[in-house]
Structure 1
Amino acid sequence: MTAAHSARQILTSLHEVMASRTHAQAKLNQVVETIGEALDSEVCSIYLLREGMLELFATRGLNQAAVHVTRLGVGEGLTGTIAQNIETLNLAEAASHPEFQYRPETGEESFHSFAGVPIVRRERAIGVLTVQHADPRKYEEVEIEALQTVAMVLAELINNAALVDPEELDRLPEAHAGQEQLTGLKLVKGLAIGQAVFHQPRITIEQTVAEDTEAERERVYLAFDRMREQIDNMASQADFGVGGEHEQVLETYKMFAYDEGWSRRINEAIDSGLTAEAAIERVQQRTRMRMREISDPLLQDRMHDLEDLANRLIRIVSGQLGTAAQKGLAADSILVAKNLGPAELLEYDKRRLKGVVLEQGSLTAHVVIVARAMGIPVIGRVSNIRGKVREGDEMLVDGDAGIVSVRPSFGVREAFEARFTRSKEKKASYAKLRDVEPFTRDGERIQVMMNAGLRDDVGMLAMTGADGIGLYRTEFQFLVSAALPQRERQARLYRDVLEAAKGKKVIFRTVDIGGDKSLPYISSEIAKEDENPAMGWRALRLALEREGLMKAQARALLEGAAGRELNVMFPMVSEPWEFDAAKEVFEQQLAFLKSRKHKLPSVINYGVMLEVPSLAETLDLLLPKLSFISIGTNDLTQFLFAADRANPMLAERYDWVSPAILRFLRRVVQNCVGYPVDLGVCGEMGGRRLEALALLGIGIRRLSITPAGVGPIKELVRKVDTREIGDAMMGWLASPPENMRAALQAWAKEREIEVD
């Protein structure tokens, strides 16, 4: 007899039992008799979770006097272990297991073999189904599979009959009830408190028993076709065509999507009488149980990929394809996801979204830049976060330390709230500096500007008192669009930004796409061969190749800035000729608009991002042509150290406050002396107080940072004497201390300058 046939026989009988008009206890009594007879098992028992304990609710073979008397804690005995670990046990000799406990009132001393499976509802064990036999033998695999299938249906029947208090579904087993502290990669600093919300909500299966097996099979076939089509479409997208990690992920997904063994197991589950959704979930439950037995991290990752695909398949077959953004956030929330795109993040209510925790994520991801602009802390690389958190769990996100506390204890929450309160008080004190100009103690006026990329970001100018927008990332409009934005739409955005800035300077960076910021509607055959996208066909390199793209943006910027000052900055310039070529595109479009009598910008200033170290060696050739230079510390750092910042092994290995980077930057500052060129730093380095102190010490006088950093940096500036820190930095760079960061911290502490 096959597992499917055995399970189907039991399910048919169970369906009749639960449809009868008898009371709940009578139904359970019939259920254990039905299962025991079908599996030729002398004992069959059902334990249900009541008030946090597993209570014997019905039994065939044990003493009836033990029903509603025998109770086990979650984690206690064999039954409690099954519930705690949500795992199956199959023992030839029950007493040989280290967790075995003998309960004399049950009269089970004459039974040797034991098998048990969890009864799971919404990924939580609400009970346990066990069978026992006098002979010391393991149950056959076919019998265990039948038990697992029956337990899945039993969960629905128990729920519908209200045999388990609904509150039990919201109460986690002991293994998942206490506080859990998880660590990850610090992506965006900050503190947040909220309830866990899954970006892709779990699907709750309401009907498990199929009425028409062939109709269910057809639904699964159609869902498989659609899922495979989606996976194949990914292969044609640029971001999955550049080799490396993405290609491996795609190949794994394709392998699982076309795996005949996986689809066969789902078909077998349908044969046993399950609906399409229940069949997928049944196979998924088996996968989860196997995952717990795997210690190899690589195999665990592959099993997580299969879990992702199963979730995708179940959403397709159930028709529940939306994300949590469509449903809306009901309370302060922490978003939990494998990964997110910038457009997906922007769909959420900013008032309710307090933090983000990702299984993947990197420092260079655009969603991180968007989150930083929104002031939302983000922690990435939190392994299996979706398996350790449940919807509605309270979460504390410490983006400063890269720590996530799940279901925190009272003491931990109290301490966190105290820090949170101090943080809010600091923010309030920074807000008071909005209209205060950032002069140093020795009278130097430092420009503190902000970075932006969204239309709504510009409103932060007035709120923070920033001197202007030192970096407007024009590519965000491209990243959140399904198709290439038309020139008129681009021009309208640039016009709106300049109007909202109300006369404050705005520096527009031309589109920086390609590499790890690929768009499905713009691809390059050369880019597809990039083994290191961060150093590949991207930014100005791609824009000069895609002449139509750059011409359209040049015209849009010129039209959008009509009658106003236009500041244009070209990203990732490696050699002077690239700047000349980019400027020529703008000059040609300017000549075209002039010939058509269009209104033109009142003045046009051209600048470059210094991100590629080679440009520093030819600055003398380029400086006479420039109005400004912005040093892009994020890319420059990874290029100087040959360290991909998207790699979690390297993300925090190299320090911005190190002689290598500071000497390089100091040399750039010195090379610009004597030229009427505005030199500044654009990037995360300038928004950190200790790093900003170092930059002031080497002669940087313009910082463009995230809006949240404007207040703290203004406060820092007003406490610093640039001559004093300049002298100190000259000494340190000439003869570096063993730990530059520690030396700078000690210097600041002596002068009561807070730098953390």
Structure 2
Amino acid sequence: MPVSAAASAREILTRLHDVMASRAPAQSKLNSVVNVIGEAMDSEVCSIYLLREGLLELFATRGLDQEAVHVTRLAMGEGLVGTIAANVETLNLAEAAAHPDFAYRPETGEDRFHSFAGVPIIRRERAVGVLAVQHSEPRRYADVEIEALQTVAMVMSELIANAGLIDPTSDPVARPQSTAEARVTGFKLVDGMAAGAAVFHQPRIHIEHTVAEDTEAERHRVYAAFDKMRDQIDRMSSQAEFGVGGEHEEVLETYKMFAYDEGWARRINEAIDSGLTAEAAIERVQQRTRMRMREIDDPLLRDRMHDLEDLSNRLIRIVSGQLSTAAQMGLRQDSILIARNLGPAELLEYDRRRLKGVILEEGSLTAHVTIVARAMGVPMLGRVRDIKQLVAEGDRLLLDSEEESLTIRPSTAMEEAFDAKLLVTQRRRAAFARLRGAEPVTKDGHRMTVMVNAGLRDDVAAIELTGADGIGLFRTEFQFLVSATLPQRERQQRLYRDVLDAAGDKPVVFRTVDIGGDKALPYLDHDENSEEENPAMGWRALRLALDREALMKAQARALLEAGAGRVLNVMFPMVSEPWEFDEALELFEVQRNWLSDRGRKLPTEVRFGVMLEVPALAETLDMILPKLDFLSIGTNDLTQFLFAADRAHPKLALRYDWLSPAILRFIRRVQTQAGAAGVPVAVCGEMGGRPLEAMALLGLGIERLSITPAAVGSIKAMVRSLDRDALMAEMNGWLATPPRSLRPLLTRWAEAHGVELA
């Protein structure tokens, strides 16, 4: 075996180029290919399987029985070859038969071979075949051998496509066409409704030449493309029309960091050394990145990898001169963009007058593109599976991210219903907007406090837009989630100060960082990011912060310095026992004393509270209430902990009602005990943002809600139409001998008493 992956791959590619350039029949070429690879790698077996009519067919082999060619077929996911293709993964096995997916095919005569290595042949991000080698002696293949196989497989994809060996029925480019109306669902990333024509982003280009004739010339092409790409990114980030100071700026800074990453450039250079053209080298590194992404369970780390995918697409387009995205071609009408995923810079290239919405096959709330789309005000729906198989370019689409739905080729009746809902939504928003200056006072004179939840600097504008009483929950972890490295204290301080400045005389409650568990960060130690069986109940929030004392000290100082001269409200999440609050409080006090000793200006007052999410804390309220300035009930986590039910589980999501006696009695008990101690109680979470559920909370004695900005108008309207004392009297009776759920009783009562629940 040659000593380096580059030398091995270059030798094979040179010989393959000569074979595929010949005028021999396709089958003869493949027979020569397996011999070239086998000889170069000193392999006893080299086999090529190609996807035909949904099955992986043995097309050529060196070392297996020739009678098996065009006879042995494996389904996707069947045997080692089928597993490689189905998962688009590499297998490297010292003993093939020991693998759980091993399937013996006697016609191949492979029983005398023990070791096995196989790599997918990928076209347009899907496997269209498998390249495999085998040896009789049990051994794992060296990294350089696997690297050479992967490089050769990438080139073979283009070679077999040019030779017409990719079955049209298996080609991932092909997709069924339909004129029938359809409706699919997804995951709401950015709220809103939109109508427009389907436009595919199409960032990928066709690579015509994969084998380099002059590696130095290819290297210079890549250097020039890097310079042009970096100039584009610098210019784009400076021209983004968002105003000053938002999380989108940090997103673009992180994106620029990837663009200037020397490690990425080095890997592309190494691929060129193996004999690839500039385009093929970038694609080779991109394929490796995609395969890594499939192995990564952490969604946040996957989101960061998508930035690199975006940059790779951009670099390939520059080096090839094929600027063929929909953004570069221009949108000719109101459009809804469809993509597997997007980078933040790619979204910024679109005409914001024409771009009405975005549909992603992937996507997440913390992805960089989501943060930028929110800043742009573009509705976005994510996790819409197989959308490219259902939609044709130009199809009429109706996007309703509030309903988490997409209507494809709508009928006239569907269009009319959509337009009617959009009109009602616009009118309702207009009516709610008129309540912006109105106070949330019940019909019987009780003044409620309605605040908003936030996590981005831009979210603070919702106070003015909705007329909310302040920010009842500012999630400080968002800054940590969008950063490529741990945010320095100065950056944190700048964010918190900007939020307080924007809020003016309205209060802001900062929740200390809630990371860890299902919000793992790529820059934490590897063992601290290890997969947890129950991440929501794992090493997260205050538990992590107390263990990572330096992290919390930095945040404490940042908050104290940002709050200089004003009232600072600090809330600790996921407190299970009073001693955790005591430790967190002591840490803040140490930092406050440190600043005071150095003559730094301090907040006029620091008010401390906890978020009650863990039911255990309710059993020690008598111990912790005397130390608290306020208490917030986090209904999202509380519900799943109280019922031992994962709220993300599809079979359990609707099973446990927020209006069940268990939740309502629990909240009433906490409210009663805290009220007797003189500690104000707020409810944070989705429960408080739903008019019927919020009405029930008011009936329990809750007077403070912190909700999503979009819900403020409807909650204010409900409050102003409610006789709270009358409802409280009914609630006491209902909860004494409750039914399975109070939802029907509350609904009927609201209708009978004219409570506005729209």
- Sort the TM-score into its range (normalised by shorter chain): 0.5 to 0.7
Q: Using a 3 Å threshold, how does the CA distance of structure 1 residues 485 and 400 change in structure 2: closer, same or farther?
A: closer
Q: Using a 3 Å threshold, how does the CA distance of structure 1 residues 211 and 453 change in structure 2: closer, same or farther?
A: closer
Other-structure match for 2:204: 203
Q: Distance in 2 between matches of 1:665 and 1:342?
A: 41
Tell me how far 1:691 sits from its aligned partner.
Answer: 1.4
Amino acid across the alignment from 2:742? M
Amino acid across the alignment from 2:494? R
Other-structure match for 2:480: 478
Q: Using a 3 Å threshold, how does the CA distance of structure 1 residues 752 and 380 change in structure 2: closer, same or farther?
A: farther
662, 665, 681: which one aligns with 2:664? 662
Other-structure match for 1:502: 504
Other-structure match for 1:692: 694
400, 407, 418: which one aligns with 1:398? 400
Other-structure match for 2:583: 581
Verify the 8 A CA contact 2:686 2:708 in the aligned structure 1: yes
What does 1:171-320 correspond to in 2, within 5 Å? 175-184=177-186, 190-196=192-198, 201-205=202-206, 208=208, 276=280, 315=313, 318=316
Other-structure match for 1:109: none
Identity in percent: 56
709, 717, 720: which one aligns with 1:718? 720
Q: Deviations over 1:306-327 (max 9, x none)?
A: xx99989984993679998997
Q: Using a 3 Å threshold, how does the CA distance of structure 1 residues 457 and 364 change in structure 2: closer, same or farther?
A: closer
Q: Distance in 1 between matches of 2:719 and 2:725?
A: 13
Q: Using a 3 Å threshold, how does the CA distance of structure 1 residues 697 and 594 change in structure 2: closer, same or farther?
A: same
SS of 1:673 mapped into structure 2 = helix
Verify the 8 A CA contact 1:362 1:647 in the aligned structure 2: no
What does 1:346-745 correspond to in 2, within 5 Å? 355=357, 357-359=359-361, 379-389=381-391, 393-523=395-525, 525-528=527-530, 530-745=532-747
Verify the 8 A CA contact 2:200 2:326 in the aligned structure 1: no
Runs of 5+ consecutive residues of structure 1 not aligned to the other structure: 14-33, 40-84, 89-120, 124-144, 156-171, 223-269, 284-307
SS of 2:721 mapped into structure 1 = coil
Q: Distance in 1 between matches of 2:326 and 2:495?
A: 25
Q: Distance in 1 between matches of 2:636 and 2:353?
A: 29
Q: Deviations over 1:441-463 (max 9, x none)?
A: 11110100011111121122111
Q: Using a 3 Å threshold, how does the CA distance of structure 1 residues 173 and 197 change in structure 2: closer, same or farther?
A: closer
SS of 1:525 mapped into structure 2 = helix
Verify the 8 A CA contact 2:205 2:324 in the aligned structure 1: no
Q: Distance in 2 between matches of 1:329 and 1:621?
A: 64
Q: Using a 3 Å threshold, how does the CA distance of structure 1 residues 460 and 693 change in structure 2: closer, same or farther?
A: same
Q: Distance in 2 between matches of 1:638 and 1:347?
A: 41
Verify the 8 A CA contact 2:307 2:344 in the aligned structure 1: no
Tell me how far 1:277 sits from its aligned partner.
Answer: 9.4
Tell me how far 1:370 sits from its aligned partner.
Answer: 9.7
Tell me how far 1:179 sits from its aligned partner.
Answer: 2.9
Amino acid across the alignment from 1:318? I
Q: Distance in 1 between matches of 2:738 and 2:625?
A: 30
Q: Using a 3 Å threshold, how does the CA distance of structure 1 residues 278 and 460 change in structure 2: closer, same or farther?
A: closer
Q: Deviations over 1:353-392 (max 9, x none)?
A: 7555454568999998998899766555433234434566
Q: Using a 3 Å threshold, how does the CA distance of structure 1 residues 593 and 7 change in structure 2: closer, same or farther?
A: closer
Q: Deviations over 1:242-261 (max 9, x none)?
A: xxxxxxxxxxxxxxxxxxxx
Runs of 5+ consecutive residues of structure 2 not aligned to the other structure: 1-13, 30-53, 58-122, 126-157, 169-173, 223-274, 288-305
Q: Distance in 2 between matches of 1:314 and 1:344?
A: 12
Q: Distance in 2 between matches of 1:676 and 1:373?
A: 40
SS of 1:644 mapped into structure 2 = coil
Q: Using a 3 Å threshold, how does the CA distance of structure 1 residues 317 and 363 change in structure 2: closer, same or farther?
A: closer
Tell me how far 1:569 sits from its aligned partner.
Answer: 0.4
Verify the 8 A CA contact 1:516 1:534 in the aligned structure 2: yes
Tell me how far 1:553 sits from its aligned partner.
Answer: 1.0
Q: Distance in 2 between matches of 1:424 and 1:608?
A: 37
Verify the 8 A CA contact 1:630 1:682 in the aligned structure 2: yes
Q: CA RMSD in A?
A: 5.3
Tell me how far 1:9 sits from its aligned partner.
Answer: 9.4
Amino acid across the alignment from 2:595? L
SS of 1:175 mapped into structure 2 = coil
SS of 1:442 mapped into structure 2 = coil
Amino acid across the alignment from 1:493? L
Tell me how far 1:214 sits from its aligned partner.
Answer: 9.5
Other-structure match for 1:133: none
Tell me how far 1:690 sits from its aligned partner.
Answer: 1.6
Verify the 8 A CA contact 1:396 1:408 in the aligned structure 2: yes
Normalised to the residue count of structure 1, the TM-score between the two structures is 0.62
Q: Distance in 2 between matches of 1:562 and 1:705?
A: 27
SS of 1:530 mapped into structure 2 = coil
Structure number, greater radius of gyration: 1
Normalised to the residue count of structure 2, the TM-score between the two structures is 0.61
Verify the 8 A CA contact 1:527 1:537 in the aligned structure 2: no
Verify the 8 A CA contact 2:691 2:715 in the aligned structure 1: yes
What does 1:123-138 correspond to in 2, within 5 Å? none
Tell me how far 1:629 sits from its aligned partner.
Answer: 0.7
Q: Deviations over 1:152-204 (max 9, x none)?
A: 9999xxxxxxxxxxxxxxxx9872444321134567765333455667x4313
Q: Distance in 2 between matches of 1:368 and 1:735?
A: 46
Verify the 8 A CA contact 1:190 1:399 in the aligned structure 2: yes
Q: Distance in 1 between matches of 2:638 and 2:601?
A: 37
Verify the 8 A CA contact 1:153 1:209 in the aligned structure 2: no
Q: Using a 3 Å threshold, how does the CA distance of structure 1 residues 649 and 334 change in structure 2: closer, same or farther?
A: farther
SS of 2:589 mapped into structure 1 = helix
Amino acid across the alignment from 2:569? N
